[in-house]
Chains A and B, each alone.
Chain A
């Protein structure tokens, strides 16, 4: 009887720990997102997204150049990686018949 109770208690404790672990991960995510959003909220405006970076020392300006740069970078990288990646995958699955695939 006591052995049975102990088994059930251990089971309950482990279930609680697993749930707690998941909660902690979600909480960390929430903390990161909320604190970044709170600190950044003050700077967000229409100008922030549409104006290029101000000259050094001048107030104002935005991140338009960074946005465009990111978009171009992603576009170029995808354009180069997609054909190579797909072709490699085709080669690995179709042309290597009989050898060990992992």
Chain B
């Protein structure tokens, strides 16, 4: 019990300290900090909006790309793959989650960034340039888009292995019942497996979102840094986590440090909210729960 208490006390102490240290900045800027757009250490004006924007965009893009792919992988591993392939591909996908994020970030700088900058971004701009999301390509490969791709690579294995477990947990009789009624395998997936596991999938996605929002080092390495807010996905930006990671060491004034901790507090609140939502979803909307317990 002391150990369990120690965990709670530790969390409490961290939260309290962050709030205390961000007090200076809070006194100065109040809640206006959240919507202020400039981050200027020279003039002592700080605002969080560019970083909230960067966090939101990079995580959402990553999530939109990663979710369908991860679910498809989960389906492949649980329903389609032959027995021998299943174990190999499954553990390879989990290996993808085992790549340290620093290594992934380094790879992002050296390989992925230049590749995206010279091949993917120009072609997206040329073919889909009428959508404002795909603006002028970057030369360096450092930017929001690269960060989103890196985040996608980090989320996919997590969501995929959770959804594989979920799909394997669907009762065999339900699946066989659907097949016996003449449904094709896809109809069985859409009619039985996905409805039965949708709350779990939602929770897995939110878990992935939490990972994407909180990821610091890999994003810091590839996102470039900047406070621009705009439609295009390609220019450099910053997320809450990457701004903290890249600026804390060099923070020039007490107010800047305090503002960085204010960013940390925002990040903490976002993480808490994501976790709570995930738990509520799992509790409330699990159709199999009644049958299982």
A interface residue numbers (CB < 8 A to B):
7-8, 10-11, 14-15, 17-22, 24-26, 28-29, 31-32, 35-36, 39, 83-88, 91-92, 95, 102
Contacts and interface: CB of A to CB of B under 8 A. Distances in A.
Contacts of A25: 69, 73, 92-93, 96, 156-157, 160
Interface string B155-168: 01100100000000
Contact of B80 (A8, A15, A32, A87): A15
Nearest to A91: B4
B184 A19 contact: no
B3 A83 contact: yes
Contacts, number: 89
Interface in B181-206: 184-187, 189
Contacts of B157: 25
A83 B6 CA distance: 12
Contact of B186 (A14, A22, A26, A35): A14
A7 B191 CA distance: 14
Interface residues on B, range: 35 or more
B2 interface: yes
Contact of A87 (B3, B75, B81, B96): B3
B240 interface: no
Given A18-B73, A35-B111, A95 B186 contact: no
10 contacts: A7-B187, A11-B184, A18-B73, A20-B72, A22-B89, A25-B156, A25-B160, A29-B95, A85-B3, A87-B3
